[in-house]
Amino acid sequence: MDEHVSSSQSTAHSSTQVIIVKNQKSPGVAAVLSFFFSGLGQIYNGEIMKGILFIVCGGISILLMWILIGFLLYPIVWIYGMYDAYKTAVKLNSSME
């Protein structure tokens, strides 16, 4: 009887499977989200605080348009946000492989 129990336990252990799910981020989606709303691509990538920082910097840049420096500053923040979202998604995907 002990042999039967040990053989059924060994078959139970051999049938165990491990499934790994990779949640890759699309660099294109991250960049497009940041195109439409600064910081949204970072939030999509899982970098919540960085996304909030981009949202705040974009808002400050918009407010600075009253003294004209915002017209230079906002496009820089906006374009860098798209670039950062794209590169971060690529980096996240390469670290998952």
Average confidence (pLDDT) over 83-94: 95
Q: What percent of the chain has pLDDT over 70?
A: 79
Which H, E and C letters describe the chain, residue by residue?
CHHHHHHHHHHHHHCCCCCCCCCCCCHHHHHHHHHHCCCHHHHHCCCHHHHHHHHHHHHHHHHHHHHCCHHHHHHHHHHHHHHHHHHHHHHHHHHHC
Average confidence (pLDDT) over 52-78: 94
Average confidence (pLDDT) over 56-61: 96
Q: What percent of the chain has pLDDT over 90?
A: 69
Mean per-residue pLDDT of the chain: 86
pTM above 0.85, yes or no: no
Q: For 4-51, what is each residue's pLDDT tens digit?
A: 555 445 555 567 777 666 688 999 999 999 999 999 999 999 999 999
